[in-house]
C-alpha cells in the first residue's frame, strides 16, 4: 500500500479528513524521514519536532467545518522567513543565535490553514547566492544526485520536497530563489505576481523583488499552498491583483487557460552565455506540447539582453546590505562580504538613477512582448551544478559572475513583478531534471497556473521520485500504509 509520502499534499489532507490518517501520524512519518535523510540532503537547519507534534494534535482536534484543503499536512519554513520562537539564522553564522519575537505574515497564514511546520529549511547566507552552502547547516544537495547542488536560496526547501521529507514547502524568490531549486530538483516552483503575498510585518522593501512562493511536486499542491499564502493584509506597499473566483487551486483543477499566444526564446537575458542543449530541448518539448494543446507559439526576442547586467549588478550589491551587527561582520562568508563591500560604495544618487534606467529598460522589454499571453524560456542556462562548483578555487567576484551565467533568466521577472513558474518538463541523458520557465502577464496568476496544470497533464504528470525516495523504512501506523479503515 502507498506510504504517506507517496501521496500528494492534497491527497494526504483528504486521507486525514476521511480518518484514514491523522495529522500526528503524518508528522511522525515525516519526522522519521527527516531523521534519516535530512542531513544527507541538507534540507533543514532547525527541526522543531515537539512543536510539530503539538501543532499536529491541535490540527487533529479542529472541527471538520474549519478545515481547509491542506489541513493537517506537514510543511517547512525557509530559514530566511521570520518565525516566532524558532531560531532563524538567515543562513548565516552572524545570526546563529537569533530567535525572532514575531512571525512573518506568511508563517501565520500557514499555521492558520492547519499546516504543520517541521522546522526551518536551509538557505544561502542572507539569500545572497543561488546555492545553499553555508556554515550553519550541511549543504543543500539534490536528492536526484547528491553530488549536485539543490540550488538556492530556497535550496533546503526543494531538497526536502524532492526527498519526500515534506510534500510542500514555503520558499522565497528575490531573483529566482524558488524557481532555480525547483528546476534543479525536478519540482514546481512558483513566484507569484508582486503583491499577491504579503511581505509583512517586516521585509517589504528590497524594491519589490522578493516574495514568498510555494514549492511542490504537483501544480495543484502548489496552487493550494498559494491560496494559503495569498491573504490580503492592510498596509502592504503593493496592491494585490484580484484573486480568481475559485482560488488558485480552482484554476489548477480546471487546467483551462483558453487559447494562448506564447512567446518562446532561449537567448540568455543577463549574460552572453551558451545555453546547454538539454535546456533548449526542454523548451522545445514544452513548445510541442503547448502547440498540440492548441496554443500559438511564436519566436520572440528576449525582453532584456546582457547589456542591462550592470544595472542589475548595482541592485544586487545594494540588496546584500541587510543590517548585520558590526561585531558579526567577520562571521559572514567571503561572497557576502564582497557583495556588501560593493554595495556600501554605491551612493543614493547612483542607486536612484540605476533604478530609473532599469525601469525604462523593463518598459521597453514589456512592449516588445506585449502581444504574448505567456513567455517560455529555459529556467537555467545549464541543467545542474556540482556542490562547491561556484566557490572552490574561485574568488568571490568569479563566484558571483558564474552565478549570473548559470541563471541569466529568472531575475528579470522579479524586477517586472510578473508571475513566473519553473516546470520540470525536461530530463538529461543521466535522468536528472531540467526545468523550463513559464511567465505570465502581471496579475494573471490564474491563467499561468491553469497553463502549468494543462502542461502537467500533457506530460503525464511530474510527480517523479529519486532513488533515495525508497531508502527509508516505513514509519506508517501499524505498518499498514495509507488506506486503513476510518475511525
| pLDDT, position 424 | 98
In the chain, the number of structural domains is: 1
> pLDDT at residue 485 above 80?
no
pLDDT in tens, 469-482: 998 865 554 443 45
Q: Is 8 among the domain residues?
A: yes
Q: What angle do CA 181, 452, 217 make, to 5 degrees?
A: 45
* Alpha carbons 190 and 378: distance in angstroms, whole number: 15
* Alpha carbons 114 and 112: distance in angstroms, whole number: 5
- CB-CB contact of 372 with 262 (8 Å): yes
Q: How many CA atoms lie within 13 A of 377 on its CB side?
A: 27
Q: Is 389 among the domain residues?
A: yes
Helix (H) or strand (E) holding 303: none
Number of H helices, E strands in the chain: 15, 13
Can you tell me the mean pLDDT for 293-322?
97
Give me 9's grid cell: 499534499
Bridge partner list, 141 = 149
CA dihedral 331, 336, 339, 342 (to 10 degrees): 10
DSSP SS3 for 473: coil
State the CB neighbour count (10 A cutoff) for residue 290: 22
Can you tell me the mean pLDDT for 285-296?
98
| pLDDT, position 476 | 52
Q: Where in the sequence is the domain holding 313, given as residue range(s)?
A: 4-479
> pLDDT at residue 483 above 70?
no
What spatial distance separates the first Cα and last Cα of the chain, rounded to whole Å? Answer: 18
The answer to whether the bond into 380 is cis (omega within 30° of 0) is: no
* Alpha carbons 264 and 436: distance in angstroms, whole number: 11
Q: β-strand 116-121 against 74-78: which pairing, if any?
A: parallel
- CB-CB contact of 270 with 304 (8 Å): yes
| pLDDT, position 38 | 98
The answer to whether the bond into 201 is cis (omega within 30° of 0) is: yes
Burial class (CB in 10 A: 0-12, 13-18, 19+), 481: middle
The answer to whether the bond into 472 is cis (omega within 30° of 0) is: no
| pLDDT, position 473 | 66
DSSP SS3 for 296: strand
State phi, psi for 186 to the nearest 5 degrees: 75, 35
pTM assigned to the model: 0.97
422 catalytic? Reply is no
Query: Which one from 117, 177, 193, 320 is the annotated catalytic residue?
Result: 177
Q: Is 411 among the domain residues?
A: yes
| pLDDT, position 422 | 99
> pLDDT at residue 484 above 90?
no
Portion of the chain with pLDDT greater than 90, in percent:
95
- Tell me how far CA of residue 72 lies from CA of 84, 218, 329, 393, in angstroms: 20, 18, 40, 46
Sequence-ordered list of residues with C-beta below 8 angstroms from that of 50, at least 6 positions apart, any chain: none
Residue 455 is part of a domain; what is its CATH number?
A: 3.90.1300.10
Q: How many CA atoms lie within 13 A of 75 on its CB side?
A: 31
Q: Is 204 among the domain residues?
A: yes
Beta sheet of 374-378, edge-to-edge order? 168-173, 211-216, 188-191, 420-427, 433-440, 374-378, 261-264, 296-299
DSSP one-letter code for 255: -
Q: Is 486 among the domain residues?
A: no
Give me 224's grid cell: 493550494
Can you tell me the mean pLDDT for 73-89?
98
CA dihedral 9, 13, 15, 16 (to 10 degrees): 140
pLDDT in tens, 372-405: 999 999 999 999 999 999 999 999 999 999 999 9
Bridge partner list, 75 = 117
Tell me the average pLDDT of the chain.
95
Give me 405's grid cell: 551565467
State phi, psi for 370 to the nearest 5 degrees: -65, -25
| pLDDT, position 482 | 53
Can you tell me the mean pLDDT for 448-454?
98
Q: Is 484 among the domain residues?
A: no
Can you tell me the mean pLDDT for 60-69?
97
| pLDDT, position 475 | 55
- pLDDT band of residue 2 (cuts 50, 70, 90) is confident
256 dihedral zone (left: phi>0; alpha: psi -120 to 50; beta): beta
78 catalytic? Reply is yes
User: Based on C-alpha coordinates, what's the Rg of the chain?
Assistant: 21
Query: Which one from 78, 124, 132, 154 is the annotated catalytic residue?
Result: 78
- pLDDT band of residue 341 (cuts 50, 70, 90) is very high
Single out the residue of 171, 161, 410 nearest to residue 271, CA to CA.
410
Query: Which one from 153, 183, 193, 198 is the annotated catalytic residue?
Result: 153
DSSP SS3 for 121: strand
Q: Is 485 among the domain residues?
A: no
- CB-CB contact of 166 with 210 (8 Å): no
Scan for cell 542556462, then name that residue.
Answer: 381
Amino acid at each position: 500500500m502507498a506510504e504517506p509520502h507517496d501521496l500528494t499534499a492534497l491527497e494526504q489532507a483528504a486521507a486525514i479528513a476521511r480518518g484514514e490518517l491523522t495529522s500526528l501520524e503524518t508528522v511522525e512519518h515525516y519526522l522519521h524521514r527527516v531523521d534519516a535523510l535530512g542531513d544527507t540532503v541538507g534540507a533543514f537547519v532547525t527541526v522543531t519536532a515537539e512543536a510539530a507534534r503539538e501543532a499536529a494534535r491541535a490540527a487533529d482536534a479542529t472541527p471538520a467545518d474549519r478545515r481547509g484543503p491542506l489541513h493537517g499536512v506537514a510543511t517547512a519554513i525557509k530559514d530566511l522567513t521570520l518565525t516566532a520562537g524558532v531560531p532563524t539564522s538567515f543562513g548565516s553564522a552572524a545570526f546563529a543565535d537569533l530567535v525572532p519575537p514575531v512571525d512573518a505574515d506568511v508563517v501565520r497564514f500557514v499555521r492558520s490553514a492547519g499546516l504543520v511546520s517541521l522546522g526551518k529549511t536551509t538557505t544561502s547566507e542572507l539569500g545572497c547566492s543561488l546555492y545553499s552552502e553555508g556554515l550553519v547547516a550541511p549543504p543543500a544537495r539534490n536528492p536526484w544526485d547528491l553530488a549536485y547542488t539543490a540550488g538556492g536560496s530556497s535550496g533546503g526547501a526543494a531538497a526536502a520536497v524532492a526527498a519526500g521529507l515534506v510534500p510542500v514547502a514555503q520558499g522565497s524568490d528575490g531573483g529566482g530563489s524558488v524557481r532555480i531549486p525547483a528546476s534543479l530538483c525536478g519540482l514546481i516552483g512558483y513566484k507569484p505576481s508582486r503583491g499577491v503575498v504579503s511581505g509583512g510585518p517586516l521585509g517589504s522593501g528590497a524594491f519589490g523583488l522578493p516574495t514568498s512562493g510555494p514549492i511542490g511536486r504537483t501544480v495543484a499542491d502548489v496552487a493550494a499552498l498559494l491560496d494559503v499564502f495569498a491573504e490580503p493584509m492592510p498596509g502592504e506597499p503593493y496592491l494585490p491583483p484580484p484573486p480568481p473566483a475559485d482560488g488558485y487551486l480552482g484554476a489548477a483543477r480546471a487546467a483551462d487557460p483558453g487559447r494562448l499566444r506564447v512567446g518562446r526564446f532561449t537567448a540568455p537575458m543577463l549574460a552572453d552565455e551558451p545555453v546547454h542543449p538539454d535546456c533548449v530541448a526542454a523548451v522545445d518539448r514544452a513548445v510541442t506540447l503547448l502547440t498540440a494543446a492548441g496554443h500559438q507559439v511564436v519566436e520572440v526576442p528576449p525582453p532584456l539582453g546582457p547589456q542591462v547586467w550592470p544595472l542589475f549588478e548595482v541592485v544586487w550589491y545594494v540588496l546584500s546590505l541587510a543590517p548585520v551587527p558590526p561585531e558579526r561582520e567577520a562571521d559572514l562568508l567571503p561572497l557576502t562580504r564582497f557583495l556588501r563591500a560593493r554595495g556600501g560604495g554605491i551612493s543614493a544618487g547612483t542607486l536612484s538613477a540605476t533604478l530609473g534606467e532599469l525601469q525604462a529598460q523593463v518598459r521597453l522589454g514589456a512592449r516588445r512582448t506585449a502581444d504574448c499571453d505567456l513567455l517560455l524560456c529555459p529556467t537555467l542556462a545549464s541543467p545542474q551544478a556540482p556542490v562547491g562548483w561556484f566557490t572552490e578555487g574561485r574568488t568571490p567576484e568569479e563566484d558571483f559572475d558564474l552565478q549570473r551565467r548559470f541563471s541569466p533568466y529568472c531575475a528579470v521577472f522579479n524586477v517586472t513583478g510578473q508571475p513566473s513558474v519553473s516546470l520540470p518538463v525536461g530530463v538529461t541523458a543521466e535522468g536528472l531534471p531540467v526545468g523550463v520557465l513559464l511567465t505570465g502577464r502581471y496579475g494573471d496568476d490564474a491563467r499561468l497556473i491553469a497553463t502549468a496544470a494543462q502542461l502537467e497533464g500533457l506530460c503525464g504528470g511530474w510527480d517523479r521520485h529519486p532513488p533515495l525516495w525508497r531508502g527509508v523504512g516505513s514509519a506508517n501506523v501499524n505498518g499498514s500504509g495509507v488506506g486503513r479503515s476510518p475511525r
